[in-house]
Amino acid sequence: DAGVTQSPTHLIKTRGQQVTLRCSPKSGHDTVSWYQQALGQGPQFIFQYYEEEERQRGNFPDRFSGHQFPNYSSELNVNALLLGDSALYLCASSPGAGVGGELFFGEGSRLTVL
Amino acid sequence: AQKITQTQPGMFVQEKEAVTLDCTYDTSDPSYGLFWYKQPSSGEMIFLIYQGSYDQQNATEGRYSLNFQKARKSANLVISASQLGDSAMYFCAMREGGVTDKLIFGTGTRLQVFP
């Protein structure tokens, strides 16, 4: 049983470009959340999706947007990249938001902005 | 406002010994969940253990146990019989009640296990 899978694992972009990161939740999970983890810090919540809608959002600008597909997979899009967007982006999935402790993360996508 | 505090930036433990990683939290919500994750240098956030605020007993998962002291608002992770592979960053996180998977993370503790 595959867990949470993310792609790509590493990527390099330049300032001003746009990036799309992808996440497939664990089988049986319908809720996906995205986190940004800067070097040396704990992850910060970006937003959460279920039923193909953004349900909750953290303190991130509109340059960060997302999407959830009918098969529950999700994308994170970041426009007009800044140097400060360099981070590890983690996707987490659960069988239902706020339900119990089954909240698992993927291996992350490491974004470097030059 | 909800907050997680991990006061130990780094910890050392000898192989086969037990170690306790500290975590305190602050919330006004009576319903919440507490998580511990392990993050090796590869970056993956590996789930270790979960404790719900209404759970009567401390959570245990193999060598991991959570020392939950509700009145003190602490949720310390105890790793028994440490192994070299336990060397990693450890994060404590909290999720408040409601229909949310928003976790608030602490700053983490780097654990190093030596032979």
pLDDT of residue B68: 97
Beta-carbon pairs below 8 A across chains A and B: 74
pLDDT in tens, A4-56: 999 999 999 999 999 999 999 999 999 999 999 999 999 999 999 999 999 99
CB atoms within 10 A of CB B110: 14
Q: Give B107's contacts (C-beta < 8 A, 6+ positions apart).
A: A41, A42, B6, B9
Q: Measured between CA atoms, how close is A104 to chain B, in angstroms?
A: 6
Q: Say yes or no for a CB contact (<8 Å) between B91 and A43.
A: yes
Assess contact for B45 and B39: CB atoms under 8 A: yes
Do strands B64-69 and B60-61 pair parallel, antiparallel, or not at all (unpaired)?
A: antiparallel
Assess contact for B44 and B37: CB atoms under 8 A: no
User: Which of B65, B66, B60, B63 minimizes the C-alpha distance to B83?
Assistant: B63
A66: which strand partners? A76
Q: Measured between CA atoms, how close is A1 to chain B, in angstroms?
A: 16
Do strands B74-79 and B19-21 pair parallel, antiparallel, or not at all (unpaired)?
A: antiparallel
Q: Which residues of A touch B (CB under 8 A)?
A: 31, 33, 35, 41-45, 48, 55-56, 58, 88, 90, 92, 94, 97-98, 100-101, 103-108, 110
Q: Grade residue A1 by pLDDT with cuts at 50, 70 and 90.
A: low
Out of A56, A107, A110, the one facing B100 most closely (by C-beta) is: A56
Query: Structure tokens of A58?
Result: 């953290």
A44: which strand partners? A36
pLDDT of residue A93: 96
pLDDT in tens, B76-115: 999 999 999 999 999 999 998 878 889 999 999 999 999 9
